[in-house]
Structure 1
Amino acid sequence: MLTMGVDIGSTACKCIIMEDGQEIKARAVVPLGTGTQGSRTVFEAALTKAGKTREEIERILVTGYGRFTFEAADSQKSEITCHATGVHYLLPTARTVVDIGGQDVKALRLSEDGLLDNFVMNDKCAAGTGRFLDVMAGVLDVKTEELGELSSQARSEVSISNTCTVFAESEVISQLSNNVPLPDLVAGIHASVAKRVAALVFRNGLVKDVAMSGGVALNSGVVRALSRELKSEILVHEDCQLAGAIGAAILAYREAKRVS
Structure 2
Amino acid sequence: MRCFIGIDLGSTTTKAVVLDEDQNIIGRGITNSRSNYDTAATIAKQEALLNGRFHLFRQALGRTHALNGGLDAFINQLERDFRAEQYLEQLVDLEETCQRSLATAHFGAATAAVGETLTEVFRRLKAEAPALFAPGAKRKSDFFRDIAGSQYLAIGETVSKEAGTRYDYLLNLFDRSIIDVENRVYADSIRRHLLSALERTFVELPETQSKRAGIEAPIKGVLDTEMEETYVVGTGYGRARLPFSKEHVRSEILCHGLGAHVMYPGTATVLDIGGQDTKAIQVDPAGIVESFQMNDRCAAGCGRYLGYIADEMNMGLHELGPMAMQSTKTIRINSTCTVFAGAELRDRLSLGDKREDIMAGLHRAIILRAMSILARSGGIRNQFTFTGGVAKNEAAVKALKDLVAENYGELQLNIDPDSIYTGALGGATFAYRAVVEEGKTAEARETK
| C-alpha distance in structure 1 between counterparts of 2:10 and 2:293, whole Å | 19
After the TM superposition, which of the residue ranges 17-26 and 81-90 deviates more from structure 2? 17-26
| C-alpha distance in structure 2 between counterparts of 1:45 and 1:195, whole Å | 36
Structure 2 counterpart of 1:170, from 331, 336, 343: 343
Q: Which residue of 2 aligns with 1:248?
A: 427
> 8 Å contact 1:3–1:21 — kept in the other structure?
no
| C-alpha distance in structure 1 between counterparts of 2:21 and 2:330, whole Å | 47
Structure 2 counterpart of 1:71, from 243, 247, 269: 243
For the residue of structure 1 that corresponds to 2:399, the secondary structure is helix
| Shift in Å, 1:198 | 0.5
| C-alpha distance in structure 1 between counterparts of 2:311 and 2:355, whole Å | 13
Structure 1 counterpart of 2:389, from 210, 215, 224: 215
Runs of 5+ unmatched residues, structure 1: none
Structure 1 counterpart of 2:232, from 21, 44, 60: 60
Distance 1:198 1:33, change over 3 A: farther
Distance 1:91 1:188, change over 3 A: same
Structure with the higher fraction of residues in strand conformation: 1
| Shift in Å, 1:50 | 2.3
Percentage of identical aligned residues? 33
| C-alpha distance in structure 1 between counterparts of 2:340 and 2:252, whole Å | 30
| C-alpha distance in structure 2 between counterparts of 1:109 and 1:101, whole Å | 17
For the residue of structure 2 that corresponds to 1:57, the secondary structure is strand
> 8 Å contact 1:6–1:61 — kept in the other structure?
yes
Q: Which residue of 1 aligns with 2:276?
A: 103
Runs of 5+ unmatched residues, structure 2: 54-222, 406-410, 442-448
After the TM superposition, which of the residue ranges 149-158 and 239-248 deviates more from structure 2? 149-158
| C-alpha distance in structure 1 between counterparts of 2:332 and 2:318, whole Å | 21
> 8 Å contact 1:18–1:24 — kept in the other structure?
yes
> 8 Å contact 1:9–1:33 — kept in the other structure?
no
Q: Deviations over 1:205-248 (max 9, x none)?
A: 22111111111111111111122222245210111100000110
| C-alpha distance in structure 2 between counterparts of 1:192 and 1:35, whole Å | 33
Q: Which residue of 2 aligns with 1:112?
A: 285
Indicate yes or no: 2:317 matched with 1:144. yes
| Shift in Å, 1:34 | 5.7
Q: TM-score, normalised by structure 1?
A: 0.93
After the TM superposition, which of the residue ranges 171-180 and 216-225 deviates more from structure 2? 171-180
> 8 Å contact 1:13–1:38 — kept in the other structure?
yes
Q: Which residue of 2 aligns with 1:92?
A: 265
| C-alpha distance in structure 2 between counterparts of 1:141 and 1:43, whole Å | 33
For the residue of structure 1 that corresponds to 2:42, the secondary structure is helix
| Shift in Å, 1:45 | 1.5
Distance 1:145 1:235, change over 3 A: same
Which amino acid in the other structure matches residue 414 of structure 2?
Answer: L
Q: Which residue of 2 aligns with 1:239?
A: 418
After the TM superposition, which of the residue ranges 45-54 and 72-81 deviates more from structure 2? 45-54
> 8 Å contact 2:29–2:46 — kept in the other structure?
no
Larger gyration radius, structure 1 or structure 2: 2
> Matched residue pairs, number?
260
Indicate yes or no: 2:364 matched with 1:191. yes
Structure 2 counterpart of 1:161, from 334, 339, 351: 334
Q: TM-score, normalised by structure 2?
A: 0.55
> 8 Å contact 1:7–1:245 — kept in the other structure?
yes
| C-alpha distance in structure 1 between counterparts of 2:22 and 2:314, whole Å | 42
| C-alpha distance in structure 1 between counterparts of 2:414 and 2:265, whole Å | 11
Which amino acid in the other structure matches residue 254 of structure 1?
Answer: R
Structure with the higher fraction of residues in helix conformation: 2
Counterparts of 1:29-48 in structure 2, within 5 Å, are: 29-33=30-34, 35=36, 37-48=39-50
Distance 1:11 1:186, change over 3 A: same
Q: Deviations over 1:36-75 (max 9, x none)?
A: 5432321221222223899711011110011122215771
> 8 Å contact 2:28–2:49 — kept in the other structure?
no
> 8 Å contact 1:4–1:252 — kept in the other structure?
yes
| C-alpha distance in structure 2 between counterparts of 1:63 and 1:256, whole Å | 18
Q: Deviations over 1:48-103 (max 9, x none)?
A: 22238997110111100111222157711011100111111111111110011212
For the residue of structure 2 that corresponds to 1:103, the secondary structure is coil
| C-alpha distance in structure 1 between counterparts of 2:226 and 2:45, whole Å | 9
